[in-house]
């Protein structure tokens, strides 16, 4: 089990990089501040909006899409965005838009995406685990399309910070690893792997609703939870899952246990997170400060 000192040190180090910006940008009675003005590839970013009153139809705009924000106090709102693994480095703009006192208002903040280096994993696998027949490829494509459809749903935000680690002994590895399988470059690993004994309980990282609970070719027994506002958590290779699609979930509820189902070479939890903007490093999400 991970010692408390190690976890506190990890959180403290990461919090240094995500403290809320002290220089909010304001416009027409509304301001916007971000937790990190120089996020790296894979980083989540908290966004806070303040206004001189209630803002109607408030949305957070990032990468040409809009998501709802949640009210955390009168005139204060919070949202979450992320820098995807495939995003380019360089300047970008996050904005909030809404209606205040009958007038449309907009506030913007500029961030500068920083590059980030990831490990390269060269794996040698049996041919049957790396090359697939047409029927299997059709299944893989259909499952990916169905998950993309579910990830595209936008529901009211239900998440709260801090997020809870999915397992008590949280020892993540491999986020963003560029994998080369049998000499063939593959997609980057958009999650962390947590190696634990089969049967170790897995829990929800925040309140939400089960968006998917079923069997997949790659993920095996899998659960996806919609936390609202474009935030989803993903749990793959489960030995079993103890939730059903559409079920309401509270932070800390058991969703299943660690296993080796699907395309897994041994018991572990594949744990991923998607936020508005793409796939982010779950460990950095867990380090975001609580409200």
**What does the block give as tokens for 122?**
């060269």
Contact 269, 193 (CB under 8 A): yes
pLDDT one digit per residue (tens) for the chain, 291 residues: 333 333 332 333 333 333 444 345 556 689 999 999 999 999 999 999 999 999 999 999 999 999 999 999 999 999 999 999 999 999 999 999 999 999 999 999 999 999 999 988 777 777 766 778 899 999 999 999 999 999 999 999 999 999 999 999 999 999 998 878 787 787 889 999 999 999 999 999 999 999 999 999 999 999 999 999 999 999 999 999 999 999 999 999 999 999 999 989 899 999 999 999 999 999 999 999 887
Contact 129, 263 (CB under 8 A): yes
Give span(s): CATH 2.60.40.10, the chain. Answer: 4-113
Architecture of domain 120-286: Distorted Sandwich (2.70)
Give span(s): CATH 2.70.70.10, the chain. Answer: 120-286
Residue keyed to tokens 């794996």:
123
Contacts of 146 (CB under 8 A, 6+ apart): none
Query: Closest by alpha carbon to 261, among 224, 225, 223?
Result: 223
State the Cα–Cα distance between residues 77 and 37, nearest whole angstrom: 18
This prediction's pTM? 0.87
Pick the CATH number of 4-113 from 3.30.390.30, 2.60.40.1180, 3.20.190.10, 2.60.40.10: 2.60.40.10
What is the per-residue DSSP string for the chain? Answer: ---HHHHHHHHHHHHHHHPPPS--EEETTEEEEES-SSPBTT-EEEEEEEESS--EEEEEEETTEEEE-EEEETTEEEEEEE--TTPPSEEEEEEEEEEETTEEEEEEEEEEEBP----EEEE---HHHH---HHHHHHHHHHHHHHHHHHT--------SSPPPSSSS---B-TT-EEEETTEEEEE--SEEE---TT-EEE-SSSEEEEEEEEETTTEEEEEEEEETTEEEEEEEEEEE---TT-EE-TT-EEEEEB--SS-SSSBEEEEEEETTEEE-HHHHHTSPP-
Return the ∠ at Cα 194 (arms to 264 and 234), rounded to 5°. Answer: 75
């Amino acid at each position: 089990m991970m010692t408390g000192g190690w976890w506190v040190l990890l959180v403290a180090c990461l919090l240094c990089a995500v403290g809320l910006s002290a220089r909010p940008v304001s416009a027409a009675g509304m301001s916007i501040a971000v937790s990190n003005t120089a996020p790296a590839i894979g980083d989540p970013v908290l966004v806070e909006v303040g206004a001189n009153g209630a803002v109607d139809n408030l949305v957070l705009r990032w990468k040409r899409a809009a998501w709802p924000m949640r009210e955390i106090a009168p005139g204060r709102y919070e949202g979450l965005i992320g820098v995807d693994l495939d995003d380019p480095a360089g300047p970008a703009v996050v904005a909030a838009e809404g209606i205040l006192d009958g007038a449309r208002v907009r506030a913007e903040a500029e961030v500068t995406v920083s590059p980030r280096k990831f490990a390269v994993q060269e794996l040698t696998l049996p041919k049957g685990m790396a090359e697939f027949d047409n029927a299997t490829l059709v299944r893989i494509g259909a499952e990916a399309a169905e998950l993309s459809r579910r990830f595209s749903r936008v529901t009211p935000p239900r998440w709260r910070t801090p997020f809870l680690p999915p397992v008590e002994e949280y020892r993540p590895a491999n986020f963003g690893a560029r994998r080369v399988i049998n000499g063939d470059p593959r997609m980057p690993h958009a999650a962390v792997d947590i190696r634990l004994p089969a049967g170790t309980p897995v829990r929800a990282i925040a309140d939400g609703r089960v968006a998917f609970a079923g069997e997949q070719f790659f993920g095996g027994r899998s659960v996806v939870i919609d936390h609202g506002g474009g935030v989803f958590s993903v749990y793959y290779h489960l030995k079993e899952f103890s939730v059903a699609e559409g079920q309401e979930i509270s932070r800390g509820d058991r969703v299943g246990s660690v296993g080796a189902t699907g395309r897994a070479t041994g018991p572990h939890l594949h744990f991923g997170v998607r936020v508005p903007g793409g796939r982010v490093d779950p460990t950095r999400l867990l380090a975001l400060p609580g409200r």
